[in-house]
Amino acid sequence: MTITKITKASSPNHDARTLPVSLLVLHYTGMDTGAAAVQRLCDPAARVSAHYVVGEDGHVLALVDEGRRAWHAGRSCWRGIHDVNSASIGIEIVNGGHDHGLPAYPDVQMRALIALCRGILDRHPIAARDIVGHSDIAPERKQDPGEHFDWHRLARAGIGLWPQQAPAAPAQASLAEDLARIGYCPGADRGSVITAFQRRYLPDAITGSACPRTRALAHSLAAMAASP
């Protein structure tokens, strides 16, 4: 079992929740260094924050109390919830992201993240289908945590859903309906939502258009999401 060291720090960027916690949102920091990211997440002028930051070395910083509403999701939506900040715990994973060559997530960082997530899931009633990336809840604006993030590993550790490899979706299946049942907001641009789905579940085939594999995986995942 991984023992994760959590250091308390403090961000002033939070306010009161207006919804119970039902979502877990994962991000990458997308900045040059973890130190720069933490500085920004604690800067009152930046007006952004997250509950936790997971360093590349596996060190975890707690910036905002879980009872408070941290400011990480921005304009976003999941399963009809638009004030995602009020309903979620937000974790920033230190990683340069798309602007810095999509670096790999080190194993020690992934192990610390998994331990942190499991603790959060012990404390809050968050369904597996409601563990999401920033790109899932804001597909037109966000790409994080990116296609190098190993969602399958998280699912094997009991964090989030992973679709079964289905041969094909039935002819009558609707990809739009399946994506909505998974949780993606129906109002978002279709190509952006498909891209977000592929970034997470088909990272070797991100095209933004519906292919048979995308349809099959979405149909499988929609069925899993319907019976949490």
To Zn ion, the closest distance from the beta carbon of 134 in angstroms equals 3
Note whether 144 binds Zn ion by CB under 5 A. yes
User: For residues 164 and 108, what is the distance between their CA atoms, to the nearest angstrom?
Assistant: 27
* C-beta of residue 21 within 8 angstroms of C-beta of residue 33: no
Give the residue, chosen from 51, 79, 134, 181, that forms a contact with Zn ion under the rule CB under 5 A. 134
Closer to Zn ion by Cβ: residue 141 or 156: 141
To Zn ion, the closest distance from the beta carbon of 26 in angstroms equals 8
To Zn ion, the closest distance from the beta carbon of 61 in angstroms equals 16
- Backbone torsions φ then ψ of 23, nearest 5 degrees: -130, 150
Residues touching Zn ion, count (CB under 5 A) = 3
Closer to Zn ion by Cβ: residue 58 or 90: 90
Closer to Zn ion by Cβ: residue 27 or 200: 27
Closer to Zn ion by Cβ: residue 12 or 74: 74
To Zn ion, the closest distance from the beta carbon of 223 in angstroms equals 28
Identified catalytic residue from 56, 92, 140, 177: 92
To Zn ion, the closest distance from the beta carbon of 151 in angstroms equals 15
Note whether 79 binds Zn ion by CB under 5 A. no
Exposed, middle or buried by CB within 10 Å (0-12, 13-18, 19+), for 15? exposed
Amino acid found at 196: A
User: For residues 154 and 140, what is the distance between their CA atoms, to the nearest angstrom?
Assistant: 24
Write out the binding residues for Zn ion, residues 10-39 only, by CB under 5 A: 27
Task: Check if 92 is active-site.
Answer: yes
* C-beta of residue 76 within 8 angstroms of C-beta of residue 20: no
Note whether 200 binds Zn ion by CB under 5 A. no
Binding range to Zn ion, per CB under 5 A, among 40-48, 139-147, 148-156, 182-190: 139-147
Catalytic residues: 92
Q: Which residues bind Zn ion (CB under 5 A)?
A: 27, 134, 144
